[in-house]
Copies of this chain bind each other. A is one copy, B any other.
Amino acid sequence: MPDFNAPLRDMRFVLHEVLQAPALWARLPALAETVDADTADAVLEEAAKVTGQLIAPLNRNGDEEGAQWRAGEVRTPAGFKEAYATYIQGGWVGLSGNPDQGGMGMPKMLAVQVEEMLYAANSSFALYSALTSGACLAIDAHASEELKNTYLPPLYEGRWAGSMCLTEAHAGTDLGLIRTRAEPQADGSYAISGSKIFITGGEQDLTENIIHLVLAKLPDAPAGPKGISLFLVPKFLVNADGSVGARNPVHCGSIEHKMGIKASATCVMNFDGAHGWLVGEANRGLTAMFTMMNYERLSIGIQGIGCAEASYQNAVSYARERAQSRSPSGPQAQDKLADPIIVHPDVRRMLLSMKAMTEGGRAFAGYVGQQLDLAKFSDDAEERATAEALVALLTPVAKAFFTDTGLDSCIHGQQVFGGHGYIREWGQEQLVRDVRIAQIYEGTNGIQALDLLGRKVVANGGASLRVFTGAMRAFASQPDAPYARELLDAAQRLENLSQWLIEQSARQPHEIGAASVEYLHLFGYTAYAWMWARMAQVAQRQLATDEAFYGAKLATAEFFFRRLLPRTLGLDACIRAGSESLYGLSEGQF
């Protein structure tokens, strides 16, 4: 298994130079005291150590040993428990948590970089804390003061962990169908009964307690999604002094045997009249759950980037060392029998595709993080509203585009290794297996695409989209904006296509779902075009200070605009062919 080295220089480039985070932090009161460039760098450096030295070395054994279930208990692979104990001492779980409850209050822009390192090092390990951070967010936003005071501090500390209990065997995408019941009790709590599946970290041996956030229905609840409430159900009840008390009747019935993320326990959770407490309003549980869901969606998107980065690092290293055949332009390593395969154009194409998409994704993740920070911390109501609209618009793009292209990058990296990529030894096949889940969980990428096109674009007549493309156009109007023509064309293509879809979908209800996945990809390439133009602008300005680093940014931007962005032409044409040809067959004719 190769080493993982966090791309610190690239992360600082995105954070400090492209997104100019320190200037933003300085003007937001809640952040000005908390973080500056030096603090951020210290956080990144420490995260690089923890992920590279503590967590990444457990990745391969984690895959081979896997999480093990026995009589309701889950044992994580060797080393996980000790590493988790060390990890939480760094305060990482509460990195961007509410400081009033023990969180560190760091900006999301910074946290996304740390998350990327975690996923790159060990996706299974990362999930245990990712779910905890997301659960904290939902509790902080929607729970009563009493629940917050009881649960948030140990969750931020990492002594306790969170889980998200939505799916049932017959209800995945369609949560309106859930059957888990919540019976009101005399003491104001509820008795939760039902069975949930695919619960990441539903049981584990890393933490003293596990706090489940559970969707269930009250006895008088309306049918469908408007009759769902959210409950907090701890594995162990909590005593008045905050200590862990009696076992709550919620148990792990089994864990899944999966393609990848084998060290992450994916649990069947059985609730047998377990004590639970309502979070937020009755029957408004989906809204509260979506606070966590949206957090997890961005986080899972970042799993795509993290795995892609790990794949890229491995593949570049192999391509520099593996010698096979000669360059088409003649021998390069004259003293050897063959050239390193990095000289071959098709190997470069794969490496550059990985590099351009991973770095484009990192910048875009930072940008979405920036909007989250503005939505949360800005004291300007209009700025908050704009940022919120962008977060809503861009979260499904981030989740699905990062992970669809993350799989591509892991496949490319595996392909660079040839046959060696298919065997365990080099870690490439594990990356492919681990990243594949990210296209599926937290709402499949098809669902993300429906959310993007249906709810976030068509439903508001393209208003949020115009905020985004407006920002692109503003950038392109700068005198030294690189690729201004290409950017304006890309923005125009996205706007025209969106307008066409708004019109089509008014007439034909299938049009949104017929276009959505390819539309999301076209959106993603367009967004990355802006990110690459921004990175190229900084690189142009700074080139003289570090020709190797900034020159690489300029060359990768050039590759992106020349060789990847034109994919939007094919996507546009496929989408404009419409939905009709999807309905030429009856169900029986498939």
Is A552 in the interface zone, CB < 8 Å from B?
yes
**A569/B573 in contact, CB under 8 A:** yes
Taking CB atoms, residues of chain B closer than 8 Å to A439 are: 415
The answer for the CA separation of A266 and B514 in the assembled complex, in Å, is 42
Nearest CB on B from A580, distance (A): 8
**Which single member of B258, B351, B407, B517 contacts A346 (CB below 8 Å)?**
B517
Task: Report the stretch among A18-26, A75-83, A367-375, A441-449 that lies at the interface.
Answer: A441-449
Task: Decide: A555 near B570, CB < 8 A? Known: A349-B514, A433-B259, A439-B415.
Answer: no
**B259/A422 in contact, CB under 8 A:** yes
The answer for the CA separation of A419 and B447 in the assembled complex, in Å, is 13
Taking CB atoms, residues of chain B closer than 8 Å to A584 are: 551, 554-556, 558-559
Is A585 in the interface zone, CB < 8 Å from B?
yes
**B587/A559 in contact, CB under 8 A:** no
Which residue of the partner chain B has the closest CB to A571?
B570
Interface string of A76-94 (1 = CB under 8 A from B): 0000000000000000000
Taking CB atoms, residues of chain B closer than 8 Å to A347 are: 446
Taking CB atoms, residues of chain B closer than 8 Å to A449 are: 346
Interface string of A506-535 (1 = CB under 8 A from B): 000111111011000000000000000000
The answer for the CA separation of A422 and B266 in the assembled complex, in Å, is 11
**Which single member of B170, B325, B349, B440 contacts A582 (CB below 8 Å)?**
B349
Is A399 in the interface zone, CB < 8 Å from B?
no
Task: Decide: A345 near B563, CB < 8 A? Known: A258-B429, A433-B433, A444-B415.
Answer: no
Task: Decide: A590 near B422, CB < 8 A? Known: A415-B445, A440-B415, A554-B584.
Answer: no
**B174/A338 in contact, CB under 8 A:** yes
Interface string of A117-129 (1 = CB under 8 A from B): 0000000000000
**A259/B566 in contact, CB under 8 A:** no
The answer for the CA separation of A320 and B588 in the assembled complex, in Å, is 9
Task: Decide: A579 near B345, CB < 8 A? Known: A259-B422, A441-B419.
Answer: yes
**Could you tell me which residues of chain A, from 7 to 32, have a CB within 8 Å of some CB in chain B?**
none
Taking CB atoms, residues of chain B closer than 8 Å to A419 are: 167, 172, 197-198, 440-441
The answer for the CA separation of A364 and B555 in the assembled complex, in Å, is 39
Is A484 in the interface zone, CB < 8 Å from B?
no
The answer for the CA separation of A421 and B439 in the assembled complex, in Å, is 11
Is A424 in the interface zone, CB < 8 Å from B?
yes
Taking CB atoms, residues of chain B closer than 8 Å to A411 are: 407, 436
Taking CB atoms, residues of chain B closer than 8 Å to A589 are: 548, 551-552, 555
Is A62 in the interface zone, CB < 8 Å from B?
no
Taking CB atoms, residues of chain B closer than 8 Å to A258 are: 422-424, 429
**B582/A559 in contact, CB under 8 A:** yes
**A338/B177 in contact, CB under 8 A:** yes
**Could you tell me which residues of chain A, from 421 to 437, have a CB within 8 Å of some CB in chain B?**
421-425, 429, 432-433, 436-437
**B344/A513 in contact, CB under 8 A:** yes
Nearest CB on B from A7, distance (A): 12
The answer for the CA separation of A559 and B581 in the assembled complex, in Å, is 5
The answer for the CA separation of A256 and B420 in the assembled complex, in Å, is 10
Taking CB atoms, residues of chain B closer than 8 Å to A573 are: 566, 569-570
Is A562 in the interface zone, CB < 8 Å from B?
yes
Which of A329, A419, A514 is the most central at the interface, judged by chain B CB atoms within 10 Å of its CB?
A419
Is A282 in the interface zone, CB < 8 Å from B?
no
Nearest CB on B from A574, distance (A): 5
**B509/A329 in contact, CB under 8 A:** yes
Taking CB atoms, residues of chain B closer than 8 Å to A97 are: none
The answer for the CA separation of A590 and B347 in the assembled complex, in Å, is 12
Nearest CB on B from A329, distance (A): 5
Nearest CB on B from A296, distance (A): 14
**B424/A440 in contact, CB under 8 A:** no
**Which single member of B345, B437, B450 contacts A510 (CB below 8 Å)?**
B345
**Which single member of B256, B433, B562, B570 contacts A570 (CB below 8 Å)?**
B570
**A418/B172 in contact, CB under 8 A:** yes
The answer for the CA separation of A320 and B586 in the assembled complex, in Å, is 11
Nearest CB on B from A576, distance (A): 8
Is A337 in the interface zone, CB < 8 Å from B?
yes
Is A564 in the interface zone, CB < 8 Å from B?
yes
Taking CB atoms, residues of chain B closer than 8 Å to A585 are: 352, 551-552, 555-556
12 CB contacts below 8 A, A to B, read A174-B324, A259-B423, A320-B590, A330-B509, A345-B513, A348-B514, A348-B582, A415-B444, A429-B436, A548-B588, A566-B570, A570-B573
Q: Which 6 A-B pairs have the closest CB atoms?
A: A570-B570, A555-B584, A345-B513, A566-B573, A259-B429, A562-B577
Known: A197-B419, A566-B577. 6 other contacts (CB 8 A): A320-B587, A346-B449, A414-B440, A551-B584, A566-B574, A567-B570
